[in-house]
A and B are shown apart, each in its own frame.
Chain A
């Protein structure tokens, strides 16, 4: 069961059409931006994958496609053997029950007019779970997020809760339907450091006890390291590195992953103040640099990198990298 593939992402792409300027209209052009281009990976049942990258790299767009919140413009997602683009109404309802999202900002993820109780029961009604099961499922979800000692919170409104409590409620709402798959988009970035640890521990526990497959989106590798077995690095819409988290973190191969590792904040005075091995910011996704998309910021780039686009290739068992400069390790 563990090795069964739950989610198969095949050459997934998403491009957004931009607002056309007068010039574009006159020349009958439609400017596009590729938010995600040709991403392929598989997620096994019970596996957790971290997706890291800067703001604007397409990680959130990817997460939303995985949950069928937006439709891809290319490629295919297969969830438990079913093509997500060809679901019947009933199948889609079942999918909504099995796949859930944990939002980034707990302060506006819950309806302020709903009590916590109503927010937690809502998904059960929406997906037509028989009513006699509701109380038990909510109680279980509350145990999972360690809010079971806080039953009095159920009749409170979101503004009466702290950030940490709210994020536990958001998490409980995602877990209440006992999904097989969740996407957590920066679930702790809005929280204080002292509270983060609690949420990360809950995520870890859920991973270990519920056998849930999860995609955890973050820009901070230290957080990904804490909850994910596998890590995918994205840069400007493409995967540049993929491998077991431990290997990616201790021996990053792609120059971009190396910069991400070096940028991880550490609470120590004796840390390197060396400038990061990359320059500038994320380029404009409307006109990405030719060749390797990282070439204009990369310390290793040469003319070859600006000509061709490196493919994602396997350099060691389970490790894929898209860089000309990385030799095969096998």
Chain B
């Protein structure tokens, strides 16, 4: 296992007390596989993956757990050891590539800088490598001389990918890499990304709120809700047999082209709980149409298939719940508060 996250906890210190943004999550990233982390805004997915680079806002602090990368616990490394790891072993593709590139530098120079400063290359060598990287992600070489504002959204995203791969990392953390792009560009960028991932045998943690992106590129998926992992497993199993009420809900909220025109989408009403004082028991309880008395107790992870786990009290009944969940009426008026 290249990366193994166990019971990781991250708190934000605020005046009102600690926010339990990531509250004991565990997942593994096998060598050469793509693991998708999905969930709503504010579920802790970005906090969780950025902590793997130890790039966190000053108010955030680890509150327990471990993240073992290639045999070493990232949480315990010195800042210097960590710095050696960043970009060389673990690279990051930030959310909104629009802002990831420095607007006053030529894109090529930004890549060369990384190669020289972090990769220890000579300038001429670095220039050659930058051209190679651009070719890899499908950008024209002459565009190396452009400034970021001369790039379209898709091109900037490709440039960010090139930048992240500059030093041949083993693990790439991509935070919503295609969210701001339209469908055609999204598809093309994902195709390029998948091709490179296979070619280099990269391991990837891909954060997104969109299950279709997960379906398209990931091998495994980790579903997060309110700071917890509520379901995880191989993509095929999780998407065909979602075994947590929240995952079932996500699936039913997704508009499909092939679907019957009259099919009504079912939004998951309400919003995630505030994490100052996370609610007792299952955190999805207040929005869940299937919640019962037992859900007031803390759920425990149950195995529902090979490598497939769910944090739902009713995980063993999900075949039935999936059927019921198809009726939009089930999801209506669940939230009473």
Contact = CB atoms under 8 A, between A and B. Distances in A.
Most chain B CB within 10 A, of A219, A260, A268, A276, is at A268
B197 to A, nearest CB: 13
Contact of A54 (B184, B212, B240): B184
B148 interface: no
Contacts of A221: 183, 257
Contacts of B249: 194
Nearest to A269: B236
Given A197-B267, A198-B267, A201-B264, A263 B183 contact: yes
Q: What class of interface size applies to chain B in its complex with A?
A: 35 or more
A264 B256 CA distance: 8
Nearest to A204: B264
B210 A219 contact: no
Interface in B144-196: 152-155, 181-188, 191, 194
A271 B213 CA distance: 12
Contacts of A201: 264-265, 267
Contacts of B209: 192-194
Contact of B187 (A55, A56, A276, A282): A276
A55 B264 CA distance: 28
Contacts of A130: none
Contact of B184 (A197, A246, A271, A276): A276
B254 interface: yes
Contact of B267 (A195, A222, A275): A195
B254 A267 contact: yes
Given A200-B265, A271-B216, A266 B40 contact: no
A269 B253 contact: no
Interface in B242-269: 249-258, 261, 264-269
B41 interface: yes
A55 B182 contact: yes
Contacts of A275: 191
A267 B41 CA distance: 19
11 contacts: A197-B268, A219-B183, A220-B182, A259-B184, A260-B183, A265-B187, A267-B256, A269-B235, A271-B215, A273-B194, A281-B152
A-B pairs with lowest CB-CB distance, top 6: A265-B212, A198-B267, A219-B182, A197-B265, A197-B267, A197-B253
Interface of B: 40-41, 152-155, 181-188, 191, 194, 209-216, 235-236, 239-240, 249-258, 261, 264-269, 271
Interface of A: 54-56, 162-165, 192-198, 200-201, 219-223, 225-226, 246, 249, 259-261, 263-269, 271, 273, 275-276, 278, 281-282
